[in-house]
Amino acid sequence: MNKDKPMMLEHRYFMEQHIRRELKPTEIVHHINGIRDDNRIENLTITTRKNHEHCTLIKQLQKRIKELEQLLEQLNVTTAA
């Protein structure tokens, strides 16, 4: 490995190969399904840091809602939705 060149993250490498150019430092490669080692190109998208944080927050909230719904179901409580 070249000491002068930092190691590239795999998902960034795959995206650069796909779009045939280097990614800008401001471009973030987002794993759509949230699985960080699923680097299939159909699971990757380019976004900004702001949009990435938003997407990540939404996924975390969706996961928590699902957990709470399952807990309510276990407690045999029905929701009004």
pLDDT, one tens digit for every residue, the chain (81 residues): 455 656 779 999 999 999 999 999 999 999 988 888 999 999 999 998 877 777 777 777 888 899 999 998 888 866 555
Note the pTM of the prediction, 2 decimals: 0.60
Nearest-Å Rg of the Cα atoms of the chain is 18
Measured CA to CA, the distance from residue 28 to residue 54 in angstroms comes to 12
